[in-house]
Amino acid sequence: MKKYLKNLPQEIKNLIVLAEEVSRETKMPAYLVGGFPRDLILGVKDWDLDITVEGNGIKFAENLAKKLNVSLVKHERFGTATLILNHRLKVDVATTRKEVYPSCACLPVVSPGTLKEDLLRRDFTINALAVSLSTDASRKLIDIFCGKEDLTAGKIRILHDLSFEDDPTRILRAIRFKQRYNFKIEPKTLSLLRAAVNSGLLNKVHPHRMRDELVLMLKEKDPSAQLKQLYDLGGLSFISNNLKPGRQVYGLFKSINQEISWFMRSFPFHGSFEAWLVYFAALLRQLSLVQSKKIIRRLGLSKQEEKKILSCRQINRRFIGRLKNKQIKPAQVFNLLKPFSYEAIILLRSVSGDSVFKKHITDFLKIYNCVRLSISGDDLYRLGVLPGPKYQKILNKVLAARLNGSVKNRQDELALIGKIIK
């Protein structure tokens, strides 16, 4: 693996050297596992490191954290720990374990195991590679299931026939990796995957776990392709049997994709914007309000997420028509769009290519939404207005005038207040 590791950023190379030191000092064999070796071989940048340790993962993580002088979050119950080096680089440390699934689609019973058992419990051959960090075989690839061959051939292959029954979320994972890397699901895996979907296994998993997988899917580069593949395989039933996306929905997903890229470029500091939520809201538009609410609750989305998704339902023909009007004034545009979240606004921008419509939304985001008045409630108080709901009404009027350009500075604003009070 040396040739692959050579090209890593210095920060990660240093980290690997320190992990090797810890492995030597604690006499605990350690390995880089999961997505890291996979993406390293594929030449894809993924700076999340997973280390698994034969011994005690938490002790190993404590030693590594000391050497790196970073803090550590321990999850004692799972025998794992996370080191956060900076906003780009995170290291998860676990103890090698084996898993036994007591019944189909249930969470496994976990106990310490060997590296081989740890790799055998994993989803696909391409995710069951390990890079040794122990001195005797340092930086050697451990490839028990021919994962490297599958990586080179572009194949998604499960490790054993009961893999999807053990963990049906792997159905979504298979599709996700297939689309992400433009791989193929090899024939036997595909036929077992189809059988698992057809026997309704996706509905046996806890809905919150399904939600987590769905969110990951919608966070991929091309959610339209992900959705199509999932639907074609019959895998949308865990959300609703009534979801039947067609060309229109896939087209909408594509334009959401472009609008999100535009939004990210134009507003890099967008706070809590959740791109996946725009796609999910677009998907649920096919269903009734009652159905959507049921799904949102079953999947355990937060109140905030529910609010954002449901607000997207106000995007109807009439609303769109109003924003296509060239004559509409800035304050009217502001009042129409102000109640919406950024997610709803991006969905809105995606539903029409009309240039007037798009310009109104862009002006809202770039100009109107940033306008701040020079006056405040204090000025109203000084002018003798008694505090109450009136304040907001007056300030809204002044803001409308400011947006429409009839008021330009503090003096104008104060003069307008005077008029309004009279």
**Which stretches of the chain bind ligand CTP, using CB under 6 A?**
34-35, 46, 50, 122-123, 127, 167, 169-170, 173
Q: Extract the tokens encoding 422.
A: 């009279």
How many helices and strands (H and E) does the chain possess? 22, 11
Quote the least distance from Cβ 67 to ligand CTP, whole Å: 24
User: Considering only CA atoms, which of 243, 178, 159, 171 is closest in space to residue 200?
Assistant: 171
Cβ closer to ligand CTP: 128 or 399? 128
Grouping H, G, I as helix, E, B as strand and the rest as coil, residue 50 is strand
User: Considering only CA atoms, which of 148, 144, 98 is closest in space to residue 126?
Assistant: 148
Quote the least distance from Cβ 34 to ligand CTP, whole Å: 3
Q: Extract the tokens encoding 376.
A: 């405040």
Cβ contacts of 89 within 8 Å, gap of 6 or more = 11, 12, 15, 47, 48, 49
Quote the least distance from Cβ 279 to ligand CTP, whole Å: 17
Q: Extract the tokens encoding 405.
A: 């350009």
Residue 232 host element (H or E): helix 223-232
Quote the least distance from Cβ 47 to ligand CTP, whole Å: 11
Residue 110: exposure state from Cβ atoms within 10 A (0-12, 13-18, ≥19): middle
Quote the least distance from Cβ 264 to ligand CTP, whole Å: 19
Q: Extract the tokens encoding 406.
A: 């009839």
Cβ closer to ligand CTP: 177 or 357? 177
Quote the least distance from Cβ 42 to ligand CTP, whole Å: 10
Cβ closer to ligand CTP: 150 or 259? 150
CB-nearest residue to ligand CTP: 35
Cβ closer to ligand CTP: 94 or 417? 94
* 3-state SS string for 58-114: HHHHHHHHHHHCCCEEEEHHHCEEEEECCCCCEEEEEECEEEECCCCCCCCEEEECC
Cβ closer to ligand CTP: 23 or 127? 127
User: Considering only CA atoms, which of 296, 287, 279 is closest in space to residue 347?
Assistant: 279
Quote the least distance from Cβ 48 to ligand CTP, whole Å: 6
Distance CA 117, CA 132 (A): 15
Distance CA 198, CA 83 (A): 41
Quote the least distance from Cβ 395 to ligand CTP, whole Å: 47
CA atoms within 13 A on the CB side of 119: 23
Quote the least distance from Cβ 390 to ligand CTP, whole Å: 53
Cβ closer to ligand CTP: 169 or 229? 169
Cβ closer to ligand CTP: 86 or 327? 86
Cβ closer to ligand CTP: 170 or 178? 170
User: Considering only CA atoms, which of 263, 264, 257 is closest in space to residue 226?
Assistant: 257
Quote the least distance from Cβ 337 to ligand CTP, whole Å: 34
Inter-axis angle of helices 187-198 and 169-181, to 10 degrees?
Answer: 140
State phi, psi for 268 to the nearest 5 degrees.
Answer: -65, -20
Cβ closer to ligand CTP: 184 or 285? 184
Cβ closer to ligand CTP: 159 or 256? 159
Q: Cβ of 90: how many Cβ atoms within 10 Å?
A: 15
